[in-house]
Structure 1
Amino acid sequence: MLKRIATDLLDIVYDEQGDADGWPVVLLHGFPYDIHAYEDIAPRLASRGARVITPFLRGYGPTRFLSAATPRSGQQAALAADLLALLDALRIERAVLGGYDWGGRAACIVAALYPSRARGLVSVNGYNIQDIATAMRPASPEKEHRMWYQYYLHGERGRAGLTENRRAFCRLLWSLWSPSWRFGDDTYARSAAAFDNPDFVDVVVHSYRHRFGLVDGDPRFDDMERRLSAMPPITVPAITLEGDADGVTPPGGRQADRKHFTGRHENRLVPNAGHNLPQEAPEAFAAAVLDIDAWAD
């Protein structure tokens, strides 16, 4: 059931399933996706006693900024602050946090900086906190070509292209990033409606410029960004997932980042799954959340 709640900056729309007194789980989508990524996962978790919260991130779907004066920031600290504000608004002291892409980044940040709010973590592609200080160091050509869309959005031609062709652009990314997933027109259309949010383009462009140090962030998040620059460890129980057909981050692409998980941690390779792993392999993602719940007891 879709619900809405106000935080200091946003009117957040979220899906809630399960008993209101169940163990809380917050599941966060990535770019360019939406809450439908978890449509086969939330009922599985709810049937096992969970209270499942799946919000539309800032700039997606019916979630809206409360003030026109608020910067349309897509920086990593903004996403994490939104997650904390949502937990506070819902009066959830601690939750299992799960996500991928942008949502996985928000979940990792909260787990790292505010471990008292996270019973555990499920993160696709591992440790998703951005090391902005080193972002301008070139990677291997094989890795660089996968980030073409980020470089495209660094210029105003890219902003115009996303504005004019957002559905075609994002569908191309779906296809490139999940080459083994045969999604249909209806599946894509349900999620693509979320990209019609009036702030979508601004939030997305800011995200891909800020992570390379090309634009300033929202000053209200300066302290959190400073703390993130230390690449803090994640001490809570964590399961990381990798799809073996991920077109953005191939398996093992972030193996060096595993040192940041200093609590109980397990990495799992999921066959025939691409970047949108929760929607492509819901059984594997749900199993990881249930295992984290068991570990945290």
Structure 2
Amino acid sequence: MWRDMAPDQTVRIAVGEYEVVAYSFGTGDEVVFCLNGGPGLPCDYLRDAHSCLIDQGYRVVAFDQLGTGASSRPADPALWTISRYVEETETVRKALGLGKVHLLGHSWGGWLAIEYALAYPDALKTLILEDTAADLPLLARELERLRSALGSETVAMMLAHEAAGTLDHPEYQAAITVLNYRHVCRLQEWPAPLNRSLGDWNMGPYGTMQGPNEFLYIGNLKDWDRSGDLHRITVPSLITVGLHDEITPVCAYQMKRGLPDAVLHVFQNSSHMPFYEEPAAYYPALLDFLAKHSG
């Protein structure tokens, strides 16, 4: 289970005219390369939830994506595209000499992982897609379903604020808070690494690519859909999802149907963060998959 630990290496890597900061734990030959969610979040929450895999002999690598954490923070919206982040990911993998990796993408990091897998299939041993989707129009429909559970009056209020652009109004924010505690993390106290990431959120990449919050997708990725290309990803794949996840089991099952060699785990007592919400079920599922496809 997760615990705070210092990385064995912290490396600054040139990405064009900027730099990103990568963190490496352990020295194993099998590398778990983590792509965190957001966009715009530092990698703390995902890095710190998986660095403990060194106990089983794995090397774990994560990095603060451009615009986040200790990496450079340019303000140019033209930088916030999934294709640029794919090339950034490949730059980091090559700079660290990681070879073939177990690529683990969570949430937005899963969309990035799918794009990366399509662009650089020879760089992967396996693909691990956590609490993510391959079809954002499908996800948008699922989010509408989750919002509707708040009741018609609350939905009408939210739509009115979204139309007026008054998303900072307390009643709108109250509705988002309820949704976050239902579908992002169901723990009463959120773990310190998650709070660290959320406390340093760069809304520039997030607003440009996704939108103003987790339940309104209006950014440049809103029409992104790779569900029809999943058949091209032939490495063994693990899909994980919480039963109460904001990126719902419907999205996970669509990926399961599309990937040629995939297994799906649904965590019954989790939402978007099974590694924190349900670690006793999460880690055995992940480690069993990795063990089967290592060596």
TM-score range, shorter chain: 0.7 to 0.9
Aligned to 2:108: 102
Structure 1 residue 31: deviation in Å?
A: 2.3
1:90 pairs with one of 85, 89, 96: 96
Q: In structure 2, do the counterparts of structure 1 residues 282 and 244 end up closer, same or farther at CA, with 3 Å as the change threshold?
A: same
Aligned to 1:207: 209
| Contact 1:122-1:292 at 8 Å conserved across structures | no
- Deviation per CA, 1:12-54: give whole Å up to 9, x if none: 22322101x53211112212754223424312x1122211112
Q: In structure 2, do the counterparts of structure 1 residues 173 and 291 end up closer, same or farther at CA, with 3 Å as the change threshold?
A: same
| Contact 1:110-1:117 at 8 Å conserved across structures | no
Whether 1:243 aligns to 2:264 is no
| Contact 1:56-1:62 at 8 Å conserved across structures | yes
Q: In structure 2, do the counterparts of structure 1 residues 29 and 4 end up closer, same or farther at CA, with 3 Å as the change threshold?
A: same
C-alpha distance in 2 between matches for 1:283 and 1:136: 28
SS in 1 for 2:244: coil
- Deviation per CA, 1:166-222: give whole Å up to 9, x if none: x99997664242353222485554223321xxxx22211111211235xxxxxxxxx
| Contact 1:278-1:285 at 8 Å conserved across structures | yes
1:112 pairs with one of 110, 113, 118: 118
| Contact 1:154-1:205 at 8 Å conserved across structures | no
**Structure of greater relative contact order (alpha carbons < 8 Å, 6+ residues apart):** 1
Amino acid at match of 1:26: F
| Contact 1:243-1:250 at 8 Å conserved across structures | yes
Identity of counterpart residues, as a percentage? Answer: 19
Aligned to 2:67: 59
| Contact 1:99-1:123 at 8 Å conserved across structures | yes
Aligned to 1:29: 36
Whether 1:129 aligns to 2:134 is yes
C-alpha distance in 2 between matches for 1:3 and 1:11: 10
SS in 2 for 1:41: helix
Q: In structure 2, do the counterparts of structure 1 residues 171 and 98 end up closer, same or farther at CA, with 3 Å as the change threshold?
A: farther
Aligned to 1:4: 12
C-alpha distance in 2 between matches for 1:136 and 1:193: 25
C-alpha distance in 1 between matches for 2:119 and 2:256: 17
| Contact 2:185-2:273 at 8 Å conserved across structures | no
Aligned to 1:221: none
Aligned to 1:290: 287
C-alpha distance in 2 between matches for 1:106 and 1:260: 17
C-alpha distance in 2 between matches for 1:15 and 1:237: 25
C-alpha distance in 2 between matches for 1:130 and 1:31: 17
C-alpha distance in 2 between matches for 1:76 and 1:15: 22
C-alpha distance in 2 between matches for 1:274 and 1:259: 21
Unaligned segments of structure 1, at least 5 residues? 214-224
Q: In structure 2, do the counterparts of structure 1 residues 152 and 268 end up closer, same or farther at CA, with 3 Å as the change threshold?
A: farther
Structure 1 residue 68: deviation in Å?
A: 6.0
- Deviation per CA, 1:51-83: give whole Å up to 9, x if none: 111212233212215x6667231x333333322
SS in 1 for 2:59: strand
Unaligned segments of structure 2, at least 5 residues? 1-6, 150-154, 211-218
TM-score normalised per structure 2 = 0.72
Aligned to 2:184: 178
Q: In structure 2, do the counterparts of structure 1 residues 64 and 179 end up closer, same or farther at CA, with 3 Å as the change threshold?
A: closer
C-alpha distance in 2 between matches for 1:14 and 1:154: 37
1:142 pairs with one of 136, 142, 145: 145
Aligned residues between the structures: 265
2:23 pairs with one of 15, 19, 38: 15
Aligned to 1:276: 273
Amino acid at match of 1:41: H
TM-score normalised per structure 1 = 0.72
Q: In structure 2, do the counterparts of structure 1 residues 83 and 291 end up closer, same or farther at CA, with 3 Å as the change threshold?
A: farther
Amino acid at match of 2:45: H
